[in-house]
Amino acid sequence: MYILIVEDEPMVARRLRRLIGEVCPQPIARLDVANNLAAARDHLAGREIDLLFLDLNLNGHDGFAALEDSATRAFHTVIVSAHTDRAIDAFEVGVFDFISKPFDAARLQTTFDRLFDADRRANPGATHLVVQKSGRIERVPVADIVRIEGAGSYARLVRRDGSTELHTKSLKRLMDVLPPVFERIHRSHVVRMDVVEALGVHEGSRYDVTLRSGETLPVGRTRVEHVRDRLSGE
């Protein structure tokens, strides 16, 4: 696991580094600290990381632009900030967690628990997904997304008007930040449950759902029961 800390306060960075080392349940292959955004960009350009701890206020500069930038990426972002009033903004663009300063080992433990156990996700869900589109950062309202398709290590967001956007996060990581109305119905499909009309059973135990648009999507066998429960309102 590769973790990057972006924090300009040396003692806070030191504390994060020490506590992460104590509580991270997986072996850490590498843990770097960048004390400003330029150094952070250098780190991110070279290699793919798994988890970013980001301070929103770096040398008097607002880290929110950096946050939007990181939200388009495949890795999860955890904000570490003294400004708790920014938490809602941060969750809106799909951060994985928001740790307010000061923090202790137990608080970091919670973050890692959530990361490795999908059932313990507790954030309110993103209202936007941030995508890179021809070099620009664009926010796609989650309310406008009907379904998401896996495309290798990327994900294709399908909007209500049928247009699509590519996101660098995997389906699994997107599911970590999306609100509960989204359901993983197949290895390669996530769908908004409130646009599903019916669950169909076909020969050879093949299952699919029909959306309001008339589209049909396959449902994985292991997920059929769950989908049925949600459709029947349980």
Partner 1 sequence: MPRLVLLLLAIWVGVSPALEGRAQDGPHPVWEGRVQFGDDPAWAAPDYNDHDWPTRRLYLAPDTTGIHWIRVPVALGETAAQALPARVELAVLAASEVYWDGVRIGSNGRVGRTPAEEVQGTIHATFHIPDSLYTPGKHAIALRLSNHAMPRDFSYYLYSLNVGPYKTCTLQARTLLPLLFVGGFLFIVVYCGILFILNPKRRALGMLALFCLVVSLLIGAESLRALVNYTYGWHAVRVHAITGLTAAVGLLLLAFVAEQFDAPHQGTVLAGSGLAFAALAAFVPGADYAVMGMYVIALGGALAIAGWAAWRGRRGGWMAVGGLTIGFLVLVGTGFGFASSYFSPAFAALVVGLLATLAVQAHRDTERRRTAQLRETRLELELLKRQIQPHFLMNTITAAMEWIEAEPAEGSRFLGALAAVLRRLGEMSGKRLVRVRQELDLCRSYLEVMSYRVDAALTLDTRGVDPEAWMPPAILHTLLENGLTHNSYPAGHAAVFVLAEERLENPDRRRYTLTTPPGTSAPPNTSPTNGAARNEGTGLRYVRTRLEEVAPGAWTLRSTPDAGGGWTTVIEVPADLSPAPVNPTSSAH
Closer CB to partner 1, 3 or 37, in the complex: 37
Closer CB to partner 1, 100 or 188, in the complex: 100
Task: Give least dist CB 109 to partner 1, A.
Answer: 15
Closer CB to partner 1, 86 or 147, in the complex: 86
Task: Give least dist CB 69 to partner 1, A.
Answer: 12
Task: Give least dist CB 24 to partner 1, A.
Answer: 18
Closer CB to partner 1, 58 or 227, in the complex: 58
Closer CB to partner 1, 34 or 142, in the complex: 34
Give the CA distances from residue 70 to residues 8, 41, 50, 158, in Å, rounded to whole numbers and listed in that order: 17, 10, 12, 21
Q: Which of 163, 150, 165 is nearest to 213 (CA)?
A: 163
Task: Give least dist CB 13 to partner 1, A.
Answer: 10
Task: Give least dist CB 53 to partner 1, A.
Answer: 13
**Binding region for partner 1 (CB under 8 A):** 8-12, 14-15, 18, 35-39, 57-62, 64-65, 82-84, 100-104
